Amino acid sequence: MHLLSILVLHGPNLNLLGQREPGIYGSLTLDEINRLLQAEAKKLQAKLTILQSNHEGILVDAIHGCLEQHQGILINAGAYTHTSVALRDAIAAVNLPTVEVHLSNIYRREDFRHHSYIAPVVIGQISGFGVQSYLLGLQALTHHLSLS
DSSP state of 2: P
Whole-angstrom distance, CA of residue 61 vs CA of residue 34: 21
Residue pLDDT, tens place only, 82-107: 999 999 999 999 999 999 999 988 87
DSSP designation for 106: G
Catalytic residue numbers, as ranges: 25, 102
- Fold classified for 4-147: Rossmann fold (3.40.50)
Q: State the number of CA atoms in the 13 A half-sphere of 28 facing the CB.
A: 14
Sheet holding 46-52, edge to edge: 46-52, 4-10, 72-76, 98-102, 124-127
pLDDT score of 69: 95
Rounded Cα gap, residues 42 and 14, in angstroms? 23
The DSSP symbol for 29 reads -
Give the domain ranges of the chain: 4-147
Stretches where the chain sits below pLDDT 70 are 1, 20-26
3 state SS of 30: helix
The pLDDT value given to residue 122: 98
pLDDT for 37 equals 98
